[in-house]
Chain A
């Protein structure tokens, strides 16, 4: 057991956990933020994706100790009122079916758009192919990423 500091969504949590515990379980079961999901535990599906120091990572495959004192953003930190352009595009395109994979999909899409504001189909393929959706929402994910890109560009030009 070790006492670690986790900075999740701009809030600091001190947790007393096995340092080998995957970040996923620390976020879900210790801190209690359940928006981040477990799908495979072996970095194959992307359901557990969070941003660690600005980069999308598979929280199921990172020990909590490796995330200590770094900025972590989960789906709850994107915005709770769905005001983030990616969330808005996801709603406009009606992407989710069961919804279980969508936190991970949204976190991956957000990271993609930050790096590549105008992604091509190829960029989308590369960023999203690690993310499984058993309900098959892929056609809508592609559309929503393009829509989010437009929304973000509009916002930027207004500023």
Chain B
């Protein structure tokens, strides 16, 4: 084993050296899972016989190349990662090149772009790595000048000798520096010393996205590549019984027709692939393909049946306890001042703007993949046993992603592409049409919630319980423990509430049905928060209190008070005018806290319109305020979609909505004015891409209640019909 790793590390080292002449390359090496990673040079790695990742390489021209181990799906890692590195490395942003990493979790650790983790998961490591490189360059310069390190400093890609003003640019120092040992404890800058971090600097990928040169998965072509579309069984666990490809084979350009199976959790999705020399020919061939399905052995459910089961589950004796304190049920039973309510949220498609697609080239027992992929290392791990190929024989390349939202973290579509390529022995791009993408799932699970709560004589919460019914994503994997509760059933609830409430209970009644479900931007928080924060508003009304003031006694931490005060101030909460409805919701997910206030009023025709949304984000330590602002705007608009414009329904075991004519995405005309504020504090970095989605829907329905006294407990609802 050691010999193999040694070879790999040697190869890496040689590759980098020959690429750059000579270079200072630094990477991270984890001795064991859970242990803090060490910063090392390729030489040190070589001596230890280990494989390292080359995160940062500085070449003799002073150009910096960094490897982006995460995908870029719109969330801005292409900008925020270099911004962090430039700050501590003391280089200009323009001197940094970014390359996409290939899938390799032995080198990079987890690469999955999910859980809003790109920054919060890696920022400390990256800052330290960059500062270490800077210190090594300073040391190299001080040695050359024969002065002490303290007499030198780094700035703009140069090391400068303070008294004489002599300079070396980094390129002149890398050879020396690469021979030094990486210092152990470098000092990181304080936020007040930042010159690049915290600045709203423009994203470097923007110019590629305004002139058509950014290469998304669908834009990637390989020499000799064929195109495939797949007629998949519209029922998720159905099989192919037989097919007739007589007409398909007559379509000019069609080369192969073959049955395919791709792994979806503990089952397979089956279909028939049509492979042709153009995508259009493949689509034409698919149109005249006749397939007979075998849909026996599983239930064909409708939306009504699904929610009837959830409703039953909420009433049944059987429930799994998730998190409790005190005696919520006992207090509730005795209370005179209590309410209960049931909430409902829909199934959703991800509807990324770029439909799913993937290129696979399976040749000579090697597989290479290109595609819009959120987790390249997951794809390797997943495909290796399925295809019987060692991981080293699977290369996964990431392109830009035209949206991801969780869907492109799943490995089914690379699997399908690999199976087809292996079979036809040629590189192939499998393209999902919009209809395929919208109807095949996995979907955001539809959920129902039952909340019960009571308030005491002071108008404070005395007991709080929430019961969840809906599918548990974890239960779909082979050998899953279906008795396990949904670990995300409290996601969205403010951490401080757990401290302040004396009696609470969260429980879960999982639904087991054959519909594939998975992460959808902000995952369970995206639906939990609707129930949690609607119910908070109902409790406030029960207590006869202002919804903001009602929350205050339950915030046992200054951070939350700061946020709620800011929200009150920026939204003009206390100065609302007649005819205006204000609603608030606050949710905590992925280690960030977001509060939103929505203002609504009536149009001349009496229909409700959304006038404005204020969002206050506390994500602790952060990099680029403009990227955060963009993510908040986008999350609110996506949350608006799931609240009022779209949902996925099922009929006879098939998804009903197929394309954007029925699965209606919010448009520019649906978009309210959005004002964003970011809190400044010393808290740890939290997520940015997801946490502002959950509070939007409840803030909106709470505002509608404020204006009309009408409670909306089921999403989506039609704004026109309020």
Contact = CB atoms under 8 A, between A and B. Distances in A.
Contacts of B353: 37, 39, 45, 47, 98, 100-101, 132-135
Contacts of A103: 212
A21 interface: yes
A138 B667 contact: yes
A129 B669 contact: yes
Contact of B218 (A38, A78, A124): A38
Given A35-B213, A99-B74, A29 B280 contact: yes
Contacts of B707: none
A156 B279 CA distance: 43
A147 to B, nearest CB: 13
B400 A136 contact: no
Contacts, number: 180
A129 B670 CA distance: 9
B653 interface: no
A76 interface: yes
Contacts of B354: 37, 39, 98, 100
Contact of A42 (B205, B281, B661): B661
Interface string A76-117: 101111100001001100111111111100100000000000
Nearest to B278: A29
Given A134-B665, A137-B634, A94 B352 contact: no
Contact of A37 (B402, B404, B433): B402
B74 A91 contact: no
Interface in B199-234: 202-203, 205-216, 218-219, 221, 227
Interface of A is mostly: loop
B428 interface: no
A41 interface: yes
A142 B400 CA distance: 25
Interface in A1-52: 1, 18, 21-22, 25, 28-30, 32-42, 44-45, 47
Contacts of B633: 136-137, 139-140
Interface of B is mostly: loop
Contacts of A94: 202-203, 206, 626, 630
B73 interface: yes
B402 A136 contact: no
B673 to A, nearest CB: 8
B434 interface: yes
Contact of A138 (B218, B635, B668): B668
B401 interface: yes
Given A99-B400, A125-B668, A139-B674, A76 B637 contact: no
Contact of B638 (A29, A47, A134): A134
Interface residues of B, number: 61
A155 to B, nearest CB: 18
Contacts of B205: 96, 99
Contacts of B433: 41
A67 interface: no
Contacts of B279: 25, 29
Contacts of B157: none
Given A94-B202, A94-B630, A135 B669 contact: no
Nearest to A42: B659
A32 B661 CA distance: 29
Given A25-B279, A129-B667, A98 B403 contact: yes
Contacts of B626: 94
A22 B280 contact: yes
Interface in B695-716: none
Given A30-B278, A136-B637, A138-B637, A100 B402 contact: yes
A34 B219 contact: yes
A42 B212 contact: no
B74 A98 contact: yes
B211 A18 contact: no
A75 interface: yes
Contacts of A106: 210
B661 A135 contact: no
B638 A102 contact: no
Interface of B: 73-76, 202-203, 205-216, 218-219, 221, 227, 252, 278-281, 284, 351-355, 400-405, 433-434, 626, 630-631, 633-638, 659-661, 665-669, 671, 673-674
Given A39-B354, A39-B660, A98-B352, 4 more contacts: A37-B354, A47-B353, A94-B203, A142-B668
